[in-house]
Structure 1
Amino acid sequence: MQRARLIAVTAGAVGVLVAVPAAAVDSGLGAPGIGDVYYPDYGNGGYDVSHYDLRLKYQPVSDQLEGTATILATAKQDLTRFHLDFALDVSAVQVNGQDAKYVASGGHELVVTPPSTLRAGRPMNVVVRYSGTPSKVKIDNLTPWQRTVDGAVAANEPEMAWWWFPSNDHPLDKATYDVSVAVPDGTKAISNGVLTRRTSQFGWTRFDWRVSQPQATYLATLAIGKFDMRFATTKSGLPMVTAYSDNLGSAAGAAKASVERTGEVIEWESGIFGPYPFDAAGGYVPQTNVRFALETQTRSFYSPAFFARGSNLYVVVHENAHQWFGDSVSVASWRDIWLNEGFATYAEWLWSEKQGEGTAQQLADFTYAFYPASSSFWKVKPGDPGKGKEFHESVYDRGALALQALRNTVGDAAFFRTLREWVAAKKYGNATITEFVALAEKVSGKQLDELFKTWLFTSGRPAARPAAHAARLTASAPERPRSWERIHRTHEHLHGRP
């Protein structure tokens, strides 16, 4: 067993300690993983990325992607070798203007050997030229790159970048982005942030997108196809881009009726959580057979399955709540996923309150009663669900129950103050559940260890529902809130996320 040294990894504005093999630090070899407890080979050690510049060309007919990625980073230690997470074919790598050696290793590692040692604290300029057919690349039998009838979509969690750009693929290493994509005329290319330019030449149209605030790699998205793209401005002046595949069929109307209200949802959420953290907003609905949604930063991805039965504001509320909880404040480890999904689910409960379709307490009562004590639902611990169970329904629903328990224990004033202080203090950084518990205790002046242990870290149904006086349910089942069916059906899709 290798010894491990704890080193500080700069993640946005927050330093997070992760375990990195000491041999890698001492020998100048960047570690092939950033130290995640669930996914130890995700991300890489030895450097910190500040910016990705991606210049791409995509042919929908053949699913052929060509790209040049320029990665601006800083060495965190002396480096004679470092890793990038990537799975397509590489034709050349340069480091600081000089040709570098490279070799593919394992399923998603590109090992780069620069011509000379990269010194700690000095800038790294890495250029990778590559090409490939993303849909043909399988890693652990996984191909999250989605082919569509007229293009493709890159949207998945916790891994997606490997299929379209080389990166340090872990939420601990956020960066800004410029994504420039050339596609055949008549085809659209959608990504995160602000559309800064669109140009056409020789039968190709190039779309240039810019992300000015730090973004985790899995939140970077790309959608190519025939889209109805719409440009608007929210009430507070925020630019908003929405897009809908021309091939949505009967779901098109409901999709537009839902996603076009993104500005309204963001304005409402800003009143609860604090100022919206980014300079753009929106969402897109491609023609795809997958059945999940994802909070891709500033421009959420929605499967048309969410709108098959009509409009659905709850999924729009959920994914946009993630812009605060998950995108701006990102997990330090995938074990901390409750900080994303429990909070986004609770935002749905708050929306239900606003709409008069059931209070958060009524939803908590019904959720607690809906899953009997014998249900496997209660076996998964939201605070540590286990690898592969990050999107189990317990993380969402029991995760929201934990927040209702907190709200009842500390009162509305302290509860909502905690949420606002949390997103303000951790803005653009990373965080752990332990840090949230500490803040909740500081704001409320209460000892909360037992509460979080009960709702997040103990297998089995808690003896009492989350109510102001820890009341047990009466013999009669609680009345089902009007919002329950829509929320529950929405979550059935969300839990199906790869």
Structure 2
Amino acid sequence: MDQRTPIRRAPTGHSSIRRTTPAAALLLALAVLGTVSACTGGVTGTPGAAGLRDPYFPKLGNGGYDVTHYGLTLDVDPTAHRLRGTAEITARATQDLSAFHLDLAGLDVESATVEGRPAAVNRAGRELTLRPDADVEDRLREGRTFRTVVRYSGSPQTITDADESEEGWLRTADGSLALGEPTGSMAWFPGNHHPSDKATYDIEVTVPKGLTAVSNGEPAARRTEGDRTTYSWHTPEPMASYLATVAIGKFETKESVTPDGIEVFTAVDPEVAEESAPVLGRLPEVMEWAAENFGPYPFTSTGVIIDREDDAGYALETQNRPFFPGPPDIGLLVHELAHQWFGNSVTPATWQDMWLNEGFATYAEWIWSEDFEDTPAQDSFDEAFDDDENWAFPPAEPPSAADISESPVYGRGAMVIHEIRLAMDDDEAFFDLIAGWPKAHRHGNASTEDFIAYVEEESGQDLTELWDTWLYGESRPPEG
């Protein structure tokens, strides 16, 4: 995420949505204890946790299962700001489940089924609790795969973060835009919205004829019936939910293929198409350069979405297809494309590991400048070193959720990478190391501890002093 600037409704009544009454509360309490018998419609086992205890978002995500695939079918009316959706969620139980949770903000749940059988739904704020029918008990045993279908509708929310930036579902000049970092994806579909649970996606979006719906991955189909057009998108590689996007509006779209066989899909608002053309023309060049430095591109498609400047307050590394509010400069394009390796393929284990995303993407800008703009990375390091904002806190320990996108995570995070380069004193070995990191955790998750262990093993060095000074140190060290 970059260039961030500041800029509940209760569910409607429905037979499948249970409001809290004394009797319902007793049944839910029994379900939580895993003691509701088959005659009450419950299953044996224990409930999955409501939250994964992330250091900054402890209620984000859910325990007891691992999502493998989301099938999202959305019908959107941008003018009325209404959305009707069906989420088909395929997951594997990681324990015997009696109940489990989904994250969803604002939208009204109409019905839910587990393995085709109606499930009881209780709601508390942004937490849905689903209690499956006893007939599907065997499907919720540890290691088994089960399918949940949730139908929902309403006016999707714009979520204001702790740093006062806006995400979730945003209104744009001619449509809508979904951005998810760090918690916004729960505004438009129910799921396990922690970056540690990655899944593949199929997203189908129906919009008024004349508008285009762009998402992640590759375009799968398009059809028009009457005054509505449906766009289908397929993401075959695992993706964290915060990287999922939908952009609806009037776009100029282009498709091509890189020399390496990577599909390219770009969508640009006509208002900024002419201004965007020069930087878009350099996308294949940036892709080739990034692959030389970071290893083979980890996905089957790439591209960009460029909307108008007022449509969002920041750029975001949405998977396969970064989003930009207005034409980016070359440095920002390099940054967001570098995220496809650092952040999207190898995704942080928790939001405390955010510096691994932003430190690497910022360092990508430094080495681009070194290669093409006669600015040695050491000069970029020196400039970052002199910037007081980079010393507000250690990059691996932001004080709060409001700080995970602040300067130290970017600038000082990049300084950590450069200090590793200096410690190795061998550029060939260093670039092998940074290319090996996304290879070692391709399409997975990794923590700061994982990175420290990886660097020390690959370099053969004990870098305790480096980590203590640059990654965890509270103050700026003396120059030299």
TM-score by shorter chain over 0.5? yes
Instruction: State the distance in 2 between where 1:101 and 1:437 align.
Output: 45
Which of 381, 391, 398 aligns to 2:394? It is 381
Is 1:414 aligned with 2:429?
yes
1:119 alignment counterpart: 141
| One-letter code aligned to 1:172 | S
1:176 alignment counterpart: 200
1:165/1:183 CA distance change after superposition, 3 Å? same
Deviations 1:386-441 (A, max 9, x none): 32211111111111111111101102122112112211110011001111111111
| One-letter code aligned to 2:410 | Y
Alignment of 1:269-288 (within 5 A): 269-287=290-308, 288=310
Deviation at 1:110, TM superposition (A): 1.1
Of the structure 1 ranges 129-138 and 204-213, higher mean CA displacement relative to structure 2 is found in 129-138
Q: Secondary structure at the match of 1:294?
A: coil
Deviations 1:142-162 (A, max 9, x none): 663210122100013111211
1:486 alignment counterpart: none
1:400 alignment counterpart: 414
Deviations 1:345-365 (A, max 9, x none): 000001101113301011112
1:390 alignment counterpart: 404
Deviations 1:211-240 (A, max 9, x none): 000000000000001111111111212110
1:174/1:256 CA distance change after superposition, 3 Å? same
Q: Secondary structure at the match of 2:303?
A: strand
Deviations 1:63-99 (A, max 9, x none): 1111111000011111111100112111000000100
Alignment of 1:277-426 (within 5 A): 277-287=298-308, 288-304=310-326, 307=327, 312-369=329-386, 371=387, 375-386=388-399, 387-411=401-425, 412-426=427-441
1:331/1:275 CA distance change after superposition, 3 Å? same
Q: Secondary structure at the match of 2:367?
A: helix
Instruction: State the distance in 2 between where 1:173 and 1:137 align.
Output: 21
TM-score (norm 2): 0.86
Of the structure 1 ranges 41-50 and 348-357, higher mean CA displacement relative to structure 2 is found in 348-357
2:218 alignment counterpart: 194
Instruction: State the distance in 1 between where 2:199 and 2:33 align.
Output: 24
1:24/1:86 CA distance change after superposition, 3 Å? farther
- Does the CA contact (< 8 Å) of 2:47 and 2:97 recur in 1? yes
Deviations 1:145-185 (A, max 9, x none): 21012210001311121111111001111000000111111
1:479 alignment counterpart: none
- Does the CA contact (< 8 Å) of 1:234 and 1:264 recur in 2? no
1:105 alignment counterpart: 124
Aligned residues: 430
Instruction: State the distance in 1 between where 2:369 and 2:446 align.
Output: 28
1:247/1:423 CA distance change after superposition, 3 Å? same
What are the ranges of 5 or more consecutive residues in structure 2 without an aligned counterpart? Answer: 1-31, 35-43
Instruction: State the distance in 2 between where 1:162 and 1:398 align.
Output: 31
Deviations 1:462-491 (A, max 9, x none): 223xxxxxxx2xxxxxxxxxxxxxxxxxxx
Is 1:51 aligned with 2:69?
yes
1:61 alignment counterpart: 79
1:328/1:138 CA distance change after superposition, 3 Å? closer
1:492 alignment counterpart: none
- Does the CA contact (< 8 Å) of 1:151 and 1:225 recur in 2? yes
Instruction: State the distance in 2 between where 1:27 and 1:49 align.
Output: 19
Deviation at 1:138, TM superposition (A): 7.3
Alignment of 1:229-240 (within 5 A): 229-240=253-264
Which of 235, 249, 252 aligns to 1:225? It is 249
Of the structure 1 ranges 239-248 and 47-56, higher mean CA displacement relative to structure 2 is found in 239-248
Is 1:253 aligned with 2:279?
no
Is 1:458 aligned with 2:473?
yes
- Does the CA contact (< 8 Å) of 1:195 and 1:210 recur in 2? yes
Deviation at 1:135, TM superposition (A): 3.8
1:82 alignment counterpart: 100
What are the ranges of 5 or more consecutive residues in structure 1 without an aligned counterpart? Answer: 1-22, 465-471, 473-498
- Does the CA contact (< 8 Å) of 1:24 and 1:31 recur in 2? no
- Does the CA contact (< 8 Å) of 2:158 and 2:168 recur in 1? no
Instruction: State the distance in 2 between where 1:81 and 1:214 align.
Output: 25
- Does the CA contact (< 8 Å) of 2:167 and 2:178 recur in 1? no
Instruction: State the distance in 2 between where 1:41 and 1:262 align.
Output: 38
1:455/1:228 CA distance change after superposition, 3 Å? same
Instruction: State the distance in 2 between where 1:436 and 1:275 align.
Output: 20
1:20 alignment counterpart: none
* Percentage of identical aligned residues: 43
| One-letter code aligned to 1:391 | S
TM-score (norm 1): 0.83
Alignment of 1:132-143 (within 5 A): 132-135=154-157
Is 1:35 aligned with 2:53?
yes
| One-letter code aligned to 1:438 | A
Instruction: State the distance in 1 between where 2:432 and 2:100 align.
Output: 42
Instruction: State the distance in 2 between where 1:380 and 1:257 align.
Output: 38
Q: Secondary structure at the match of 1:388?
A: helix
Q: Secondary structure at the match of 1:134?
A: coil
- Does the CA contact (< 8 Å) of 2:254 and 2:267 recur in 1? yes
2:239 alignment counterpart: 215
| One-letter code aligned to 2:408 | S
1:484 alignment counterpart: none
Of the structure 1 ranges 323-332 and 136-145, higher mean CA displacement relative to structure 2 is found in 136-145
Instruction: State the distance in 1 between where 2:270 and 2:285 align.
Output: 24
- Does the CA contact (< 8 Å) of 1:65 and 1:134 recur in 2? yes
Q: Secondary structure at the match of 1:79?
A: coil
Deviations 1:263-290 (A, max 9, x none): 2211110001100000000010123442
Instruction: State the distance in 1 between where 2:88 and 2:389 align.
Output: 46
- Does the CA contact (< 8 Å) of 2:50 and 2:62 recur in 1? yes
Of the structure 1 ranges 327-336 and 284-293, higher mean CA displacement relative to structure 2 is found in 284-293
Instruction: State the distance in 1 between where 2:277 and 2:157 align.
Output: 28
Instruction: State the distance in 2 between where 1:34 and 1:262 align.
Output: 37
Which of 177, 187, 190 aligns to 1:166? It is 190
Of the structure 1 ranges 253-262 and 67-76, higher mean CA displacement relative to structure 2 is found in 253-262
- Does the CA contact (< 8 Å) of 2:103 and 2:191 recur in 1? yes
- What is the aligned-residue RMSD (CA, Å)? 1.9
- Does the CA contact (< 8 Å) of 1:94 and 1:126 recur in 2? yes
